[in-house]
Amino acid sequence: MTRWLQWSTADLANGPGGVEVHARMLQRELRALGMECELSRDPRDAERPEWDVVVTHGSTVTYQAMLPALLKRRSQAVRVFTLHGTALGRMRACGEWAWLGGYAAAGREWASLLASDVVVTVNANLDLFRFAERNGQVTAFSSNGWDAAPSIEGLPARVDAALGDQKSAWAFIGRGDDSVKGASNIVSALKFLDSSGSPAKLIAVPGSGFSTAPDGLVFATDKLSPGQVKALLARVRGLLLPSYYEGNSLAMLEALTSGIAVVATRVGAVPWLEGRVQGLIVCRSPSAEDLVFAIRQADGMAQDDASRSARALANQKMLPTWKRVAQTYVDAVQRFKLR
């Protein structure tokens, strides 16, 4: 039995972010393939001799953990580095050049890449990934999977009441208090639509970052489970994702495979998805003006159950499941071993 360890300073077992969900889904599917896979936050675990494969994610590592590998004092394990995005990419997109922590995170990303045998990315356009290809490392690209929640769960009564029966509200999923997500632009766009006689309500999960929105414009759900998010997506008009920077948004993939409209900026994996999936409307920029234009485009998209089902089925066939993502990791490790 092949033994895998995923190690990170982030709480891979319980954290709500995309990196943490990716790690848990990879663990789920590797175990389904008959392999052992554990999650850890202890840097000493990465150097224990029993692992065949050690996977790290993004900048969520420490130099202490990378030093033995950088100095080539490594165990028998194949080291895999997963790129979800880059700190410098975010800083460039958002103009965050004064963010000192970003430079430290970028250093950790480079250390992880140089210490790794295999580099897997969810976004093939990243500069670090292109460097790994030129550096002769084994590389692999795989979009995130879309089937994290196998079944729909019931929504809280207050969320159910806020949604109503018309499937007319828009959804936002993620940390609205993160400036990269463009929450303030969403509020400005909704206010403009409201004043022009085309009101649009937003259901925000969990709702952080929207406290300045006028009453009645944004409804905050608080935390929802993956199954409840799946239920929410089935009852909204579409998903708004006017981000300044993204890796490969899990919310976007789940929305596309639910058959609803997705309004997203051309960042992260969106250029790869454009033209390949149905229901994706690319917003020219994260600005409120461009967001209003894209929302009005989406208003022309058929919303009947048959049309939604057709889009959902087409996108599910095109996008990878988490099982396919796990197989990408396994195949990349095997390619390295055959060198």
pLDDT of res. 62: 60
Asked whether the predicted pLDDT for residue 328 surpasses 60, the reply is yes
Nearest one of 301, 211, 202, 289 to 259, comparing CA atoms? 301
Using CA atoms, how far apart are residues 29 and 26, in angstroms rounded to an integer?
5
pTM score of the predicted model: 0.92
Q: What is the mean pLDDT of residues 295-319?
A: 94
CB 325 within 8 A of CB 146: no
- pLDDT tens-digit series, residues 256-285: 999 999 999 999 999 999 999 999 999 999
pLDDT of res. 74: 55
CB 83 within 8 A of CB 58: yes
Asked whether the predicted pLDDT for residue 50 surpasses 70, the reply is yes
Q: What is the mean pLDDT of residues 135-141?
A: 96
Using CA atoms, how far apart are residues 62 and 97, in angstroms rounded to an integer?
22
> What tokens does 243 get?
């981000």
pLDDT of res. 212: 83
Asked whether the predicted pLDDT for residue 66 surpasses 70, the reply is no
Angle between helices 87-94 and 100-114 (to 10 degrees): 150
70 pLDDT band, cuts 50/70/90, is low
Using CA atoms, how far apart are residues 200 and 170, in angstroms rounded to an integer?
7
Asked whether the predicted pLDDT for residue 214 surpasses 90, the reply is no
The CATH class, in words, for 3-145+321-337 is: alpha beta
For residue 317, the tally of other CB atoms under 10 A from its CB is 8
Q: Do domains 3-145+321-337 and 157-318 have the same CATH topology?
A: yes
Asked whether the predicted pLDDT for residue 73 surpasses 60, the reply is no
Asked whether the predicted pLDDT for residue 71 surpasses 70, the reply is no
Write down the domain spans for the chain: 3-145+321-337, 157-318
Asked whether the predicted pLDDT for residue 213 surpasses 90, the reply is no
Q: Cis (ω within 30 of 0) for the bond into 150?
A: no
- Which of 21-30, 62-71, 130-139 has the least mean pLDDT? 62-71
6 pLDDT band, cuts 50/70/90, is very high
| DSSP secondary structure string for all residues of 37-71 | EEEE--GGGGG-TT-SEEEEETT---HHHHHHHHT
46 pLDDT band, cuts 50/70/90, is confident
Q: What is the mean pLDDT of residues 104-117?
A: 90
- Which of 60-69, 185-194, 298-307 has the least mean pLDDT? 60-69
pLDDT of res. 150: 79
Asked whether the predicted pLDDT for residue 60 surpasses 70, the reply is no
% of the chain beyond a pLDDT of 90: 75
Using CA atoms, how far apart are residues 248 and 157, in angstroms rounded to an integer?
31
Give the CATH H-level superfamily of domain 157-318: Glycogen Phosphorylase B; (3.40.50.2000)
- The torsion region of residue 119 among left (phi > 0), alpha (psi -120 to 50) and beta comes to beta
93 pLDDT band, cuts 50/70/90, is very high
pLDDT of res. 193: 94
pLDDT of res. 68: 55
Burial of 214 (0-12, 13-18, 19+ CB in 10 A): exposed
CB 61 within 8 A of CB 73: no
Counting every residue written for the chain, the total comes to: 339
H or E, element range at 220 = strand 218-220
